[in-house]
Amino acid sequence: MLYLQLFYTFFKIGLFGFGGGYAMLSMIEAEVVKNHQWITSAEFADIVAISQVTPGPIAVNSATYIGYTATGSVWGSVLATLGVCTPSLILMLLISRFYIKMKDNAYMANIMRTLRPVVIGLILAAALLLFTPDNFIDWKSYLFFGACLAAALLRVSPILLIVLAGIAGYFVY
């Protein structure tokens, strides 16, 4: 039952996951942290951090990690990962088959336009949802947040940022 639920939940995330990894995060948070409570908000932040310093799409990384954590079994990982990728696999096969008809599609262009502000809103929500007592434990957390945001705006790479924040955390806490 738990395995089916994992597959179904990640299938849904894959099917509605428009706008790339960060936009999918809010859906993963809503489903996995809030709805099913398979992991805590702090664990979720940890997975995102780990995803930044390991290769591969963030949605696949989260699915694999959460699948194992929720079930304690490799099969949980397999099902969650297949769940998040199956919609992509099916849709892209269909699109590839009917390739010529999809070119310069007015429907596609307009849907992308209406999706854009929604996707940005989803990313903002994903960030806001991380402002929990789990992740922001004291005033120093806000200092870390501010410094990292400033560094990100100055185009410091995400990998370097995570590593530096980790080193700083080790010395401060």
Partner 1 sequence: MLKNYLALFFSFLKIGCFTFGGGYAMIPVIQKEVIEKRKWVGKAEFLQMLALSQSSPGPMAVNTAVMVGYRLYKTTGAVISFLGTVLPSFIILLLIAMFFPLIYHDPAVVSIFKGIRPAVAALILHPVYNFSKEVTYWEYPVFFAVAAAVYFGFSPVYFIVIAILIGTGYTIYRNKK
The answer to whether 5 contacts partner 1 (rule: CB under 8 A) is no
Picking from 50, 58, 49, 52, the residue whose alpha carbon sits closest to that of residue 22 is: 58
Q: Contact with partner 1 (CB under 8 A): which of 6, 33, 79, 122?
A: 122
Contact indicator for 26, 129 with CB cutoff of 8 Å: yes
Give least dist CB 4 to partner 1, A: 19
Which amino acid is present at 45? A
Q: At what angle do helices 106-128 and 21-28 cross, to 10 degrees?
A: 60
Do 79 and 13 meet the contact criterion of CB atoms below 8 Å apart? no
Instruction: Find the binding residues for partner 1 in span 71-100 (CB under 8 A).
Output: 74, 77, 81, 84-85, 87-89, 91-93, 95-97
Does residue 2 interact with partner 1 by CB under 8 A? no
Residues 11-40 that bind partner 1 (CB under 8 A): 12, 14-18, 20-22, 25-27, 30, 34
Residues near 14 by beta carbon (within 8 Å), at least 6 away in sequence: 59, 83, 84, 85, 86, 87, 88
Minimum CB–partner distance for residue 21 and partner 1 (Å): 4
Which residues from 42-71 bind partner 1, rule CB under 8 A? 42, 45-46, 48-61, 64-65, 67-69
Looking at residues 125 to 154 of the shown chain, list those that interact with partner 1 (rule: CB under 8 A): 125-131, 134-137, 141-142, 144-146, 148-149, 151-153
Report in angstroms the alpha-carbon separations of 160 from 17, 53, 146: 27, 9, 16
Does 9 contact partner 1 by CB under 8 A? Answer: no
Comparing CB distances to partner 1, the nearer of 4 and 146 is 146
3 binds partner 1 (CB under 8 A): no
Asked if 106 interacts with partner 1 (CB under 8 A), we say yes
Question: Residue 155: left (phi > 0), alpha (psi -120 to 50), or beta?
Answer: left
Shortest distance, position 6 Cβ to partner 1, whole Å: 13
